[in-house]
Amino acid sequence: MDTQKEISEKNHSGLARSDVANLLQPIIKLHNIEVKDDRFEFPSVHPSAGVPESDLSDDTETTVILFEHITSISPFKARFEVLLQCGELYIFSTTDGIETHINTYNNNKEVKSQKPTTAQDVAGNIWDGLEKILASGKE
């Protein structure tokens, strides 16, 4: 069984510190990720949708992701994707310091669905968001 499938099939109470540290090892130094006991932290990323680059703040904060909120970590050749149960998706480049945050599910981080978000949910929500953006431009 490959690592991604194994991680995704674990119960939805989250991942262990060792799982996260092992999976993110190739990008930890590149993205200044600190793996703590119950979370990992990294310099803040800006939302990718709806904010012009010129409007992004230069202020740096720390983004915190609790292991218990992670649904899956998907390693790819050029990026790592971390999907949270609330539907937020964090994408870390393996070639440079670019990080992206996409809220694919809702506008409230505190709201959790009854079931964890799946890749199909994310794809559907991204498509729905794109359709809304495209429709608003036609008006």
From the first residue on, what is the mean pLDDT of each consecutive set of 10 residues in the chain (139 residues)? 45 73 94 94 68 59 90 91 86 90 63 57 67 64
Domain limits, the chain: 3-138
Q: Is the dihedral angle over the CA atoms 91, 80, 64, 44 positive or is it negative?
A: negative
Kindly report the pTM of this predicted structure.
0.64
DSSP-based three-state secondary structure for 90: strand
pLDDT of 57:
59
pLDDT confidence of residue 10: 46
**Which residues does 36 contact at the CB level (< 8 Å), separation at least 6?**
17
pLDDT given at position 101: 83
Q: How far apart are the C-alpha atoms of 14 and 70, rounded to whole Å?
A: 5
What is the predicted pLDDT for the residue at 65?
A: 93
Residues 99 and 33 sit within 8 Å (Cβ to Cβ): no
Kindly state the DSSP code that residue 47 receives in the 8-state scheme.
Answer: B
